[in-house]
Amino acid sequence: MSDQLLSTQVLLNILGGYARPFDKINELRKSGHLIQVRRGLYVVGALLNGNKPELLLIANHLYGPSYVSADSALAFWGLLPERTYGVSSMCMGSSNSWNTPLGNFSYHTLPPAYYPLGVQHIQLSERQHILIASKEKALCDLIIHTKNLVLRSMDQTWNFLHDDLRIEDDEIHRLNWVLILEWALYAPKRSSLQILAKTLKQHDTGMVK
């Protein structure tokens, strides 16, 4: 179970033979055998030589419903040249953030009609599955939640993709502008996403008709 997150209830079941299981949990935490991600949620510590759950999986469980998105999802799909610091996610509840021993996790709220669009279920390993934005949805979410970013022209949009985010040309050309145009109807910053779709359409290699 070292690659899974452990709730307090799961630990109580495992430690059922102890007279004071809560004290045992606290002892394991203090000794480094358990790492507390937040109240009621733990992962196995390095002292047990266990494989920790992927940070993206932790992000899904730390606060939900949520899915990994924005720069974190773009990095996962290989569109961003550098691994991002922390994990960015979208949620339906209030925006929130968690600073944990394993890293920082941020959550940004989205309207219900737009939230589920472009979310994929991905298997990371035999026992680890996550919800994560598609390439297109991650890019839309990044634009929506980048403060003061308003896309007004195709030149500005291309510079944002190519120069600011440093996404490779061939990756930009593969993005499905049709989906983005459909999603824009339900999204914040609708005009910016429509400009994004228009820019991608202009640079379409023919993979999307």
Q: What is the DSSP string of 119-170?
A: EEEEEEETTEEEEEE-HHHHHHHHHHTSTT----SHHHHHHIIIIIS---HH
Answer yes or no: are the C-beta atoms of 104 and 86 closer than 8 Å: yes
Closest CA to 103 of 150, 68, 154, 65: 68
Answer yes or no: are the C-beta atoms of 59 and 105 closer than 8 Å: yes
Cβ contacts of residue 127 below 8 Å, gap of 6+? 3, 4
For residue 151, pLDDT beyond 80: yes
CA distances for 46 relative to 2, 3, 147, angstroms: 10, 12, 37
* pLDDT of res. 60: 96
Rounded-to-integer distance, Cα 162 and Cα 164, Å: 6
Q: Could you give the 3-state DSSP secondary structure of residue 116?
A: coil
Cβ contacts of residue 74 below 8 Å, gap of 6+? 80, 135, 138, 139, 142, 165, 167
* pLDDT of res. 208: 42
Query: 22 with 118, same domain?
Result: no
Query: 43 with 59, same domain?
Result: no
Query: 112 with 150, same domain?
Result: yes
pTM of structure: 0.88
Domain count, the chain: 2
Closest CA to 121 of 107, 105, 133, 135: 133
Average pLDDT over residues 126-130: 89
**Which range of residues forms the domain containing residue 29?**
6-48
Query: 43 with 137, same domain?
Result: no
For residue 109, pLDDT beyond 60: yes
Asked whether residue 163 is domain-assigned, the answer is: yes
Query: 13 with 100, same domain?
Result: no
* pLDDT of res. 126: 84
* pLDDT of res. 16: 86
* pLDDT of res. 207: 45
How many C-beta atoms surround the C-beta of residue 98 within 10 A? 18
For residue 45, pLDDT beyond 90: no
Asked whether residue 120 is domain-assigned, the answer is: yes
Query: 161 with 60, same domain?
Result: yes
